[in-house]
Every structure is written in structure tokens, then in C-alpha cells.
Amino acid sequence: MKNTILLFLLIGTLLLITACGGDFRQRAQGLPSEVFVLIDSTHFESPVESALRDVYGEFMLTMPRPEPRFDLKFSGLRTQADLNLAQKHRNLMVVASIDEDTNVGSYLRSLLSQDVQDRVRRGELFEIPLRDRWYRDQWILIHTAPDVDTLEQRIRNNSGSHIRSLHEMELARWTEEVYRRGEVRAISDSLWVQRGFTFRVQHDYIIGVDTTDFVSMRRFLDDNDRWIWVWHKDNVPDLDFISERWINNTRDSLLNIYIRGSRENAYVRTDYRQDHKTQFMRINDMEVYESRGVWVMSDFSMGGPYINYVFHCPDQNRLYMMELAQFSPRYRQRRFLYQFEAIARTFRTNPEFDVTLSGVLTE
């Protein structure tokens, strides 16, 4: 009888785990934006390595000190310890031609069925993504081809979708990290009710400027000052008139009024000496223009990176401009831009909001 009860308890536990879809494995390891590249040492300083560095390690120029998109960490495969280390990493690429006579080549083939290997040899399949193969929260990509020359070409010309998938994976991780210590729900709720929009406000931001069509908040530390602001314009039916020039002119006008320095006549503006770019995308089913670049004080005393978003809400017939910026000269800034992007992706609008009732949060 006792054994029967234990059996039913075990079955019940297994059913509960299955029903909940839980994954109780350890989480994959690795630093943010670091990609562990498992590749034979004969390819070190080769065209294949150069292709990987040029594509995945491309420098992001829209910041005061350019940083690579991802930090690539190359490693050969000689021992079981090397393999164990690779399999634990949260971002892993395995790179080899399909019949390569190396340890990495043998390992790559062991991951693929015979049918998949044959498709690679026929030139029908080149990149094979895997998820959570050995650990939770794991992004894995196999880069392979019938020969080394084709492998290099595929990396250079066909890696865009995989870069995007890795970027989205990193954004999900950063979203978890940004709100790990909590958030200011009172501000988010007030924005939703009184402004018609909201986003998740990180735990230590406070309201700054607060007018009828502009609100800012700030997270101030002596060596890491960050701020977010949102401006809106009513009776805007679409984004057809938007251009990069309009975005920059509008930004600069708002910055001149609301984002000013401690010295008289000092204000924030776009640093047109630095690289800046604008692209169209969709976020949360909204049409969006994303702009990246560098801001500078009008007296050139300081500067830093920014990300700007122009959203459109058809239900409200309203345009929103949201900007996230930072001053942190002591730190690498790529990770903060990821955090800004994660915050911006929580932006949403209230379809039932009456735009005639819009008011400041302090009322």
C-alpha cells in the first residue's frame, strides 16, 4: 500500500511538472552580448573568422565610443572540458564546413541527423538554429556549408535574421534584468489614466518635467545619469510626413526647452558630428521610427548616447515621441542602450483614452 501511494505521488508530480511546462535545468552562463564561437584553431585569423567578426562584431557607431554589436569569444575544441564550457554558454555558435576533418567538424556532425547533413552537402541548408539544447535561456546557431568558401559567403550575406533573433534574445534577458528590482507602478498607472499611454518604469526613476504634452523622468547617479521623456501631438492621422530631418528638428526643439544643463544657456542637442541613423519598424503592433545617435550639451561640456522613438496610435489619432538618454563617461554604454530598448518595448497606448482629458500627473 505504501509503495502504491508513493507511485501515485510520483506520477502526480510528473504530471504537474509536464502541465506547467516547467524547465528546471540550470540557466546557461555567459556575459551579456557575449557569443562563444566554437571553431577549429586552423580557422583563427582566417576569412571565416574575419567574416564572423565583421558581421556579428560590427561596431555600433551611434554612440560616443563605438562598441561591437556582440563580443565574440573564439575557442577550439581539444578536450571534454572545452566542450563542457561551450555547451554551458548562453550564446553559442558552432562553425565548420560539413565534412571538415577537425574536432569541431566531428562535433558539428554529431548534432545533425544524416538527412540534415546530406541537405547541407547539397547546398540546401546552411544555418541551423537551436534553442535551450543543454541549458535554459540558450541561443545556439550552427554555421555550416559544403566548403569553407561557401561558409564565409553565407556568414557575410545571410546572417541578418540570426542577428535579429540573437538581439531579441538579449532584449528579453535585459527586460528581466531591468525590472528585477521592481518598478514604479504608480507612475505607470498614472500615465495610463491621465496621459493615455504607459510603459514599465524602472524602480528608481522619478518624475521631472510635467506639462500637458510633455513628461520626463530621471534616474540620477553621480556617474550614471539617465533620463526618459515622452511628448505627444494630437490630430495626427498617420506617420506619412515623418522624415529623419523632422525627427531631429522636433527633438532639438524639445531638448532646447526641457532638457537643459545647470549652466545658463546650456541645453542638450543632437551632435551632428557623430553618426546617427533612423529606421522604420513595428513595435507592439504600432508603426515606429527608431533613431539612434549622440547628444551633446550646447557648450560641448558633456555628451552621451540616445535612442528616440516616434510611435503612432490610430485609435487616439496621436503621435508620441519617446527618448531615452544617458551620461556615463566612465562606463561602456552598449548595455544601457539595451536597457533603454527593453524599456521602450513596454510602451503601449490606451485605446479608450479621451485625448481631451489629458493632463499633468501632478494634478
Distance CA 356, CA 361 (A): 15
Relative to beta strand 71-75, strand 34-39 is parallel
Q: Tens-of-pLDDT digits for all 363 residues of the chain?
A: 434 333 333 334 333 333 445 678 899 999 999 999 999 999 999 999 999 999 999 999 999 999 999 999 999 999 999 999 999 999 999 999 999 999 999 999 999 999 999 999 999 999 999 999 999 999 999 999 999 999 999 999 999 999 999 999 999 999 999 999 999 999 999 999 999 999 999 998 999 999 999 999 998 877 788 999 999 999 999 999 999 999 999 999 999 999 887 777 788 999 999 999 999 999 988 899 999 999 998 888 889 999 999 999 999 999 999 999 999 888 888 999 999 999 999 999 998 898 876 666 654
CATH architecture, domain 26-176:
2-Layer Sandwich (3.30)
Q: Which residues pair with 229 in a beta bridge?
A: 216, 323
| CATH topology match: 26-176 vs 182-357 | no
**135 near 122, Cβ under 8 Å?**
no
Q: Which residues pair with 93 in a beta bridge?
A: 37, 141
The highest-level CATH class for domain 182-357 is alpha beta
Give one DSSP letter per residue of 56-89, joined into a string: HT-EE-SSSS-EESSEEEEE---SHHHHHHHHHB
Angle at 97 between CA 92 and CA 98, to 5 degrees: 100
SS3 state at 196: coil
Q: Looking only at Cα atoms, what is the longest distance across the chain?
A: 85
Q: How many beta carbons lie within 10 A of that of residue 359, not counting itself?
A: 12
Confidence (pTM): 0.86
* Cα torsion 242, 243, 244, 248: sign: negative
Q: So where are the chain's domains?
A: 26-176, 182-357
